[in-house]
Amino acid sequence: MAGENGTYVTVGNSADNLAVISGVDGSVTGGQFIGAGEFVGGDLQSAITEIRYNYLGIVRNYTLTDGVMEVFAEAGHGLFVDASLAPLNYRALYSEGLDDVIHIPVGPTFHLSGQTDFIIGSRHNDEFLSGQSALSVGGEDSILGGGGGDEFLIHPGSQSSTLVIADFDADDRIVIKADGAAGVSPQVVDAFTGVAGQVKYSIVRGVATIEIDANGDAATDNIVSFAVNQEFLRFYTIGSGTDLYVDYRKYVDTLDASDGDNIVDGYFTDINAFNIRGYAGNDRLFGTQGANLIDGGSGADYMVGGDGDDIYIVDQIDDVVVESQDQGLDQISSSVSYSLANNVENLILIGALNIDGVGNDLANDIRGNAGDNFLYGDAGDDHLYGNAGVDLLSGGIGADWMEGGQGNDRYIVDNMGDTAVERAGEGFDMVDTSISYTLGDNIEALRLIGAQGAVDARGNGAKNWLNAAWVDVAPAAGTQIRLYGEGGDDNLLGSRYGDLLDGGTGVDSMTGGAGNDRYIVDNAGDVVIEQADQGFDMVDTSISYRLGDNVEALRLMGVTGAVEAHGNAGNNWLNAVWVNVAPAAGTQIRLYGEGGNDDLQGSRYGDLLDGGTGADRMTGGLGNDSYVVDNAGDIVVEQAGAGYDVVTSSIGYALGDNVEAVRLIGVAAGATVVAQGNDLNNELNAVWVDQSAKVSLLGGGGNDRLLGSRYDDLLDGGTGADTMRGGRGNDSYVVDSVTDLVYEQAGEGYDVITSSVGYRLGANVEGLRLVGVAEGASVVAQGNDLNNSLNAVWVDKSASISLLGHGGDDTLQGSRFGDLLDGGAGSDRLTGGGGADRFHFGDVLNAATNVDTILDFQKGVDVIELDDAVFAGLNLGKLDASAFVANASGTATSADQRIIYDTDSGQLFYDADGSLGGAAVLFGMVAGHPPLTGADFVVV
């Protein structure tokens, strides 16, 4: 259809319709082409050859249900509005269709006049495509995309003056395409100038400059240089025109957007160094395929780096960084708290604010700033660096490397492969962990938090603080929390359960808390702290140590010499069983229970065990052990063949089985003390008793050795052949064997032996008492050269008793039965007691020194025996009547009379020649001067 200065109409309503307007005469100077109708499901195309009109309306008022409207010029032709024609204020290519396309192919000239011209799209997604080799704009011309997401695509050519795209919507974009077609130079756009609030672009061929005017005040805010060289460059604007979105493939170093909400896209750029900065506003920045530096500036920015090792600058917590998998090693530098997006590897906190950095599932590198940071690696084997400030570093899942830097830093460790690193002088640093962990160098503290079982916490060579107070789950039976301070002066705090605390070398303070705790002590300055009712607690040590309050037990382990273990006021358990190195000669392991009812167990060597006050149980073990007893309830336990063991006691004590000796030391003045032996060959020793006390040494079975004190002692060896030395004082001995030996020194008191057997007094012992003589026994009690007392008064069974005084002025007392009493030399006093006693005179007569007195002669019952070796001239047997005379003068009256009895004085004389010239010799006296006759004498 053709005409001039007229209207051309094409009408159709079929779904397959195609309406074509074509062949318009180029000489027509005015008119309009109007299409009216409805096309359903088809396309409407207008083919224009060459049109020159000053008012042009093409395809208006069509309703297209599903189709696309295209207006295009045929090849070799163009659309031209002549600037020489009369200007009009409204010039348009206009459509109200759906997604419309206006084509002008390469070759012809598309010229807008110098007036105010418009190309107007629909409210849908339109495309305006120029393939012009020369696109000239004569004035301030405008393209209005209308609604929808419009794309303004300009192919190679040249443009001058100003082009205004006046209505950028949310999804609109400008595309400048320089595709390097043959014979066509790259497209260079000299200027796009926006109205207020839009974006101004100035681009120069080669090295170009983009001037971004965010607020429309004609002042350039940022200048960025790049080169255009036959590659793809896209500019996008969305919203109200304050967004900028840029793609460029090559030679772009940096692109700075202005303030406002911009989009910058470098997706198609393949250079290695491309910097994009958004400044103020909520920007959308898209990087190239190379390594980008993307800085959204202030505002909540959306940044996509793409391929390459990208760096993002974040300054808002609402900034979003997007990376896909395997798109390089990417980094975020943030001045605010930030969590790494997926597929971003590294995070650096910048500035000095106290902010946080959080990683993702990758192996991240996260670095803090000068403030106090919380760095969390999340999953992956991460590297965390705290920098300055008081930082908290948590690697999360994985084997993480954490370095806090300056400041008092704290580490969260949850993997055995985690490593916390500190340099010397970088503050007081702490690890919080729920697993077994060893502190690295220069880290001072470790806390067990959230531990679910038995874990080990180990310090380093520094002064450490190890704390398990936050453990709130009990370890399995037979396991425990273990704290090892290692080197340094450490402070260890246990959990509420049974822990092991080992301060290591150094002067350590260890507090176990509740539960049955165990401590390892290796320094005399180590302090163990427990509160009352916090379990049964034990110290293991290789050195001398004294238990602190509320600690119950001590074990000596790894001892290499003589050490002392001291308990406290509680009921302690002190144990040296694990000592396996003998102390040097003359030294020993010493266990002191102190207060309480203690249990002491010695080593295999010779130990000293002193339970202290309380009723203590002491077991020495092998070796020659020494025990100190101060309580009647103390028990000493020894096994057979376990050495020669000695109890030292300040009180009465009976040796337990297999203990050989007791020594009384520190006995209180006036005390009554009984030391008893057992069935062994005991030594009971009271030599060290230094205050007057009543001491009894009772040997029990065995051949005992008893040593008395300087005071009055009782020494009873018991059964066996015993040796007893009373020492000073008036000692009493009990003898039950003729082999018992009693030793006394001269001048050491008046000493008496009590015996149930015949016994002869040793030197310097004064008395002997027969007690417990067996019935029918024949017992001879003999004195010594002292003035002895030989006494059978306590014999309560019929026995043959002989009391033989020997030298000295003795006192002999018979039993209730018939006894033999012989005072020996000296002037003795003889008491027969009951029974038919025999008073024997058999020593050399001496009227001055040897005159015995019979104190209880029973007429007709007792007899006086005269030894014929002394009393010569007498016939054996009954004394002849002619040899005896009794008168008041005490003199013989015939030569035959040898024994003269003075009836007035009771004196007995021996006259060897009777009434002849020899003098009579006084040899005895009979108390009470009973009426003796010759029948009362017998010559033996």
What are the mean pLDDT values of the chain's consecutive 10-residue runs (940 residues total)? 36 34 35 35 38 34 38 39 34 38 39 39 42 36 49 42 45 41 33 35 35 42 34 37 40 50 53 68 82 88 90 92 92 94 94 95 94 94 94 93 94 93 94 93 94 91 93 90 94 95 94 94 94 94 94 93 94 94 92 95 94 94 93 93 93 93 94 94 94 93 94 92 93 90 94 91 93 95 94 95 94 95 95 96 95 96 96 95 95 95 97 92 96 96
Cα gap 92→122, rounded to integer Å: 12
pLDDT at 141: 41
Number of C-beta neighbours around residue 400 at 10 A? 29
Question: What is the DSSP track for 287-325?
Answer: --SSEEEEE--SS--EEE--SS--EEEE-STT-EEE--T
* Order of strands, sheet of 401-403, starting from the edge strand that comes earlier in the sequence: 254-256, 273-277, 291-295, 311-314, 331-334, 346-349, 365-367, 383-385, 401-403, 419-421
Residues 98-124 as b/e (b if ≥16 CB within 10 A, e otherwise) read bbbbbbbbeebebbbbebbbbbbbbeb
Dihedral sign for Cα 814, 818, 823, 824, please: negative
**Is 223 in a helix, a strand, or coil?**
strand
- What's residue 19's pLDDT? 34
Residue with tokens 């102190």: 594
Predicted TM-score (pTM) of this structure: 0.64
- CA dist 692 and 712 (Å) reads 8
The dihedral through the CA atoms of 174, 180, 181, 186 has a sign that is positive
The pLDDT of residue 34: 35
Q: What is the pLDDT of residue 262?
A: 56
Instruction: Report which DSSP code applies to 456.
Output: E
Nearest to 271 by CA among 240, 331, 226, 222: 226
Spell out the residues 6+ positions from residue 917 whose beta carbon is closer than 8 angstroms to its own. Answer: none
359 vs 20: CA distance, rounded Å: 61
Helix, strand, coil fractions of the chain, as percent rounded to 5? 0, 35, 65
DSSP 882: G
Q: What is the pLDDT of residues 698-750, one digit of tens each?
A: 988 999 999 999 999 999 998 999 999 999 999 999 898 889 999 999 999 99
Separation of alpha carbons 665 and 628, rounded Å: 9
Task: Look up tokens 């750029």; give the residue.
Answer: 269
Strands 553-556 and 573-575 come out as parallel
The answer to whether residues 415 and 430 touch, using CB atoms and an 8 Å cutoff, is no
